[in-house]
Amino acid sequence: MARSLPSSLVKGIRDIATLPSATFDEFLARLRDIPIEIKQHRVFSGTDFDITGPSDKGQSLKEAAFSLLLSRAGNRVPADQFIDELIGTLSSPPIIEPDLMPSLRERLVDILNIASLDLIARAHDVLVEHSQTFSSARVVSDIRPVFGNDVNSEPLGAVLVHMLSLVYYSTGQRHNFVMAMDEKDIDELIDVLQRARTKAATLKRTTMEQGHLSYIKVV
Q: What three-state secondary structure class fits 158?
A: strand
Please check whether residue 1 lies inside any domain of the structure.
no
Query: What is the extent of the structural domain holding 209?
Result: 132-218
Average pLDDT for 103-118: 94
Question: Do 30 and 113 reside in the same domain of the chain?
Answer: yes
Q: Is 78 helix (H, G, I), strand (E, B) or coil?
A: coil
Mean pLDDT of 55-80: 89
User: What b/e sequence results for 186-213 when a residue is b if at least 16 CB atoms lie within 10 Å of its CB, and e otherwise?
Assistant: eeeeeeeeeeeeeeeeeeeeeeeeeeee
- Mean pLDDT over each residue of the chain, to the nearest integer: 88
Same domain assignment for residues 11 and 115? yes
pLDDT score for 92: 77
Check whether residue 150 and residue 182 sit in a common domain: yes
3-state secondary structure of 95: coil
Q: CA of 196: how far to CAs of 51, 191, 193, 200, in Å?
A: 41, 9, 5, 6
Task: Give the phi and the psi of residue 52 in degrees, each rounded to 5.
Answer: -70, 125
Q: What is the CA radius of gyration of the chain?
A: 25
3 state SS of 16:
helix
Alpha helix (H) residue ranges in 55-182: 59-75, 79-91, 101-112, 115-127
Residues 118 and 157 in one domain: no
pLDDT at 3: 52
In a domain, 67, yes or no: yes
pTM (predicted TM-score): 0.74
Q: How confident is the model at residue 2 (pLDDT cuts 50, 70, 90)?
A: very low
Domain match, 115 and 164 both: no
Regarding whether 23 and 82 lie in a shared domain, the answer is: yes
Same domain? For 120 and 12 the reply is yes
Average of per-residue pLDDT across 152-169: 94
Give yes or no: residues 162 and 123 share one domain: no
> pLDDT by residue (tens digit) across 9-53?
888 999 999 999 999 999 999 999 999 888 877 888 877 888 888
- pLDDT at position 106 is 94
Statement to judge: residues 14 and 113 lie in one domain: yes
